[in-house]
Structure 1
Amino acid sequence: MKDEASVTIVADTETDPLLTSIAARLFWGSSAFSFFFLSCTAYQSPGGEVPSLIILTTFALLGMFLFGWAGYYGAVRSKRKRHPGSIEMNAWGLRQRVGDRVVEATWKDIGAFKGIDRNNRGEIIGSWIVDSEQEVSYCASRRPKLYRQRRAQPLFLLLTPVGNVMNFANFLRDAQNNPAWVAEIFRSPHRLEWIHGILTAHEPGLEIVGNPTAVSDGHGARRHLLSDPRYPDPGQRFSVSAGGM
């Protein structure tokens, strides 16, 4: 999916949706271990009963489980910091890497838009159906699998970097229906301005979501959405860059 004529919706690296999950698991894990150690070291009167071994074992295992989950989320957070989910697009299609997971698809293979949802971290996830001979979602440490025939696969995109979800969904629909049109956009020297205009069109009824900062190309040119008088909404910020993929 290499193409010099590309545009990237740059994900915000300042937000940290996993930090709350890590902190919560560390807190409850510490609480479980504290109860375990206090119960083991607490003074018992000669006639008192020793706390149930089952209860102590349960709290010890619970603490270990929660600390283990905190460590897992810590590793995921580190990968997410390096690859927060920027969406790379060119005349061929799109690609997104979130942590160690990669999703990519050609425009012509992207089919029905299934809808949007929020995960348990409050991130916006969009889902599409892709009919492709290549694996759509795969681990970044390997190449995607090739199938003998086309098969329907779910495409899940992290849409938090996108300023207007419906504008983005409409763009994907139009790109699938008109490959020549999208190819013309990405091969034009004005592709940055065109994509910026498409994704920031402020029409009644279109939901503005996400925490997307500026628009830039790979050669230093930059447009700040907040300073654009046509789009004064302070809650709508995102970054787009043009360059190689």
Structure 2
Amino acid sequence: MSELKHQSSEIDPRQTPDSKYNVARQEWDRRIGSKVVLIAQLKIAIIVVFFFAVMACCVAWYYANRSVVLPYIVQVDSKTGAVITVDKLAEQTKPNAAGIEYFVWRILKNTRTIPKDIIVYKNNWQEVYAFLDAQTSQKFNDMAIRENHKEKIENGKTSTLMLKNITPLAGKEDTYNVRWQEVHYGKDGKKDGEYELEAYFTVNFVTPQVDTIYINPYGLRITDFSISQER
């Protein structure tokens, strides 16, 4: 009551409402209204803080559980095994000439060798597809069908390759000539034939793909090739 008396004494009698009761009720409504607004603002602030806290937890969980792959390219001496260079993949996007020759020969060997086991044969080809585009994939498939690879495996026939040389063509840094000896064996292991072959491979480089980065870390692509028997 003392508070109401104090408030009423400050009211100008010329103002409305002119009733002390109405003045007290107006003051009460003002105080209650301000508290309701304050509570509403606090609720909004709590909701906003809670939302950002949940978002922060989600972001932290994502980065904590994300697998980050940072591949390195390690070049070693083929004779001593000593490490020559170690580079992050992002810092070295192309191999040197010897590196390209290695991959070209590996591709050729995997597609021309006929093993006894069909699983080994399929695994070899699955690896090769990481280096091919749609056009060269079809071209290699046509070669395998034309030469009856699967039929030879079913009949117990095999073949091996021995590299003679591989060199880049003069004036064409993206094209490599490969010459090798190919020996075919029958089911009994006896030699069926021996051939001298050569091939030309045209290469290019694309951005390495995450799913094949451990097979093809440089993004090397075979864009065209031809194979023929030496005369």
Task: Verify same fold: TM over 0.5.
Answer: no
TM-score by length of 1: 0.28
More helix by share: 2
Larger radius of gyration: 2
What TM-score comes out, normalization by structure 2 length?
Answer: 0.29
